[in-house]
Structure 1
Amino acid sequence: MKKGITTEQTITIAERIQKFGIIPEFSFVIGNPGDPERDTRETLAFIRKLKKINPDSEIIIYHYTPVPQPDNMYGNIDGQIAWPSTPAEWASKRWMDFTLRIDTQAPWLKRKTKNLIDNFEIVVGSRWPTVQDIRAPRWSRFLLKSLSSWRYTIGFYRFPIELHWAQEFISLRKPKRESL
């Protein structure tokens, strides 16, 4: 996303800091309007590569969310989104979800692709719960890893209902959602 760093440089950084026991945090914006399916596929593969290098890496995932300006970073979205015109519209649940990247309802992002992104995030977050979660009991990490390991290993992310239930039961810390 025009950050001035290549994927190769990111891999090199991940390898270097892993040697020193540093836990990196990598954030990703997925579902760019140009080719959201390809972007999603490539980004998930890249995240898996980073996790192979350093399984302790913290992964933060967001859906691509454009801003109302003429020069959007990834393609022309003119006419695809009817932006709010009043402060009251911006304060509605739909636009709060949009700006907080909870559910952008982006017209170029197929529901199937959005679900893949969201389900992948649940599987990765269960397989490697954040080290920042000091509230969750120790046994919960073992439970989540056990439930999610097979899904991550074979790349099956659909309908992770058992992981939803386990995360609700354990009350995992979800930094993206706690700001609401």
Structure 2
Amino acid sequence: DDDVLVKINKRHTNDQVLKLVEKCKQHNIMASLSFMVGFPWNPEKDFEETILLIEKIKNINSNTEILLFIFSPYLGTPLYETALEYGMDFPDSLEGWSKYTYEKSNAPWIDNHLLKKINRYISFFGTKDMPPNIAEFLQGGKNDKLAK
């Protein structure tokens, strides 16, 4: 939501993103947008609101490419310090960092249920046949296995 955008120092609002998508559609430009979920402040709400925003985007222009990522802060950034404050564990050696991956969540505030939901959507957004009504699709449309 817009509160999260302020906390992560983004200089736009969700309304501005929707206007951008509309302009891209008017000029036949395929937008590619990336989103990050799983911030420590309210990960479930953040995720749900992000999915609703993506659904609005797809309703405006179903050709918009969507990329979804799990919050993975980098060493030395302000969000790294925030993650530490919320209990995220990071490697403490070079060997540990060599095995560290940003492809899964190491965040203690993301429970297994939410992580599975996020990963389903990450897989889902990788498909080319994604309809604009994401929720309906995941509740038993064309590809019921994603909803489970």
Where on the TM-score scale, by shorter chain, does this alignment land: which range? 0.7 to 0.9
CA–CA separation in structure 1 for the residues paired with 2:139 and 2:123: 8
**For the residues of structure 2 that align with 1:74 and 1:43, how far apart are their CA atoms?**
23
Match of 1:42 in 2: 49
Which residue of structure 2 aligns with residue 178 of structure 1? none
* Pair 1:105 & 2:112 matched: no
Name the % identity: 22
Q: Which residue of 2 aligns with 1:33?
A: 40
Counterpart CA distance in 2 for 1:103 and 1:74 is 19
- Cα root mean square deviation, aligned: 2.7
More relative contact order in 1 or in 2 (CA 8 Å, sep 6+)? Answer: 2
Letter in 2 for 1:117: I
The gaps in structure 1 that reach 5 residues or longer are 130-144, 164-180
CA distance in 1, matches of 2:135, 2:104: 27
Q: Which residue of 1 aligns with 2:125?
A: 124
TM-score, normalised to structure 1's length?
0.65
Map 1:22-171 to 2 at 5 A: 22-69=29-76, 71-72=78-79, 75=82, 77-78=84-85, 80-92=87-99, 95=100, 97=101, 101-126=102-127, 129=128, 145=129, 152=134, 154-156=136-138
Q: Over residues 117-136 of structure 1, what are the superposed CA-to-partner deviations in whole Å (9 max), with x where a residue is unaligned? A: 1112222332xx2xxxxxxx
**Structure label with greater radius of gyration:** 1
Give the secondary-structure state (helix, strand or coil) at the position aligned to 1:32: coil
CA distance change for structure 1 residues 79 and 73 in 2, over 3 Å: closer, same or farther?
closer
Task: Give the distance between the partners of 1:110 and 1:43, measured in 2 at CA.
Answer: 18
SS in structure 2 opposite 1:15? Answer: helix
Give distance in 2, aligned partners of 1:162 and 1:107: 27
